Amino acid sequence: MFLPKLLEKAHSGERLVTLTCYDASMARLMASCGIDILLVGDSLGMTIQGHDSTLPVSLADMVYHTRAVAKGAGGQAVIMADLNFGSYQASPKQAFASAAQLMAAGANIVKLEGGAPFVETVRFLTQRGVPVCAHLGLLPQSVNATGYRMQAKTEDAAQQLLDDALALQAAGASLLILEAIPEKLAARVTQALTIPTIGIGAGVHCDGQVLVINDLLGLTPTPPRFAKDFLHGQGSLEAAIRNYADAVRRGEFPGPEHSR
């Protein structure tokens, strides 16, 4: 699936369903279940490699897993790949060189974390044919500075996030992930933007949702509050994934217990 078709779905009012994916077998299954976006996340640092953060993940790791996921998906889902820590922060030119490797491996869009400092990077990439998904709120690559906690809880911080979102959209971002922010703020940002928002721990009012596949399958020892075990009570991985996709599209997930 190419990005323009995905954006058409979002603009028609259909919620976008996203899951992290790291290998060809799971990509094949997710694509067959109608998952819209397969996010090759640097979360693989924790889910696959066993680290306590995303920071040790290399660009070579991201290229390897992106290639595997793209092969498994067979063109039936949009492949989004994270720009890992250290692969884009130095300059827009560094970001383009890294993004080019991910695109060559099969990514349809790359994702980067951060607001105002990366507006010019987003503009540089998009002007050169690299679609970008921006990411605001809780930024896992900044965990040493912020910790894993709810972001933008004050009015000043909320306004800064909204300003950043508008600036990233103006720079050419095609999508925006909102992670671990108050539900009312996510609704406010979603209403203010013309590009789709995808939430994780940001309430039900975003244009789509994303979960880490390990959280969806109940494999995380201490899952985050916004996660749900969709495998519980189901007879197969396929049933769990379809259950999640249906819940997102019906607006049933996340529920109040997954939001603040």
DSSP per residue, the chain: --HHHHHHHHHTTPPEEEEE--SHHHHHHHHHTT-SEEEE-TTHHHHTS--SSSTT--HHHHHHHHHHHHHHHTTSSEEEEEPPTTSSSS-HHHHHHHHHHHHHTT-SEEEEE-SGGGHHHHHHHHTTT--EEEEEES-GGGHHHH-SS----SHHHHHHHHHHHHHHHHTT-SEEEEES--HHHHHHHHHH-SS-EEEESS-TTSSEEEE-HHHHTT--SS--TT---SSTT-SSHHHHHHHHHHHHHTT-SS-GGG--
Active centre residues (catalytic): 179
Residue that the structure tokens 């400092």 belong to: 117
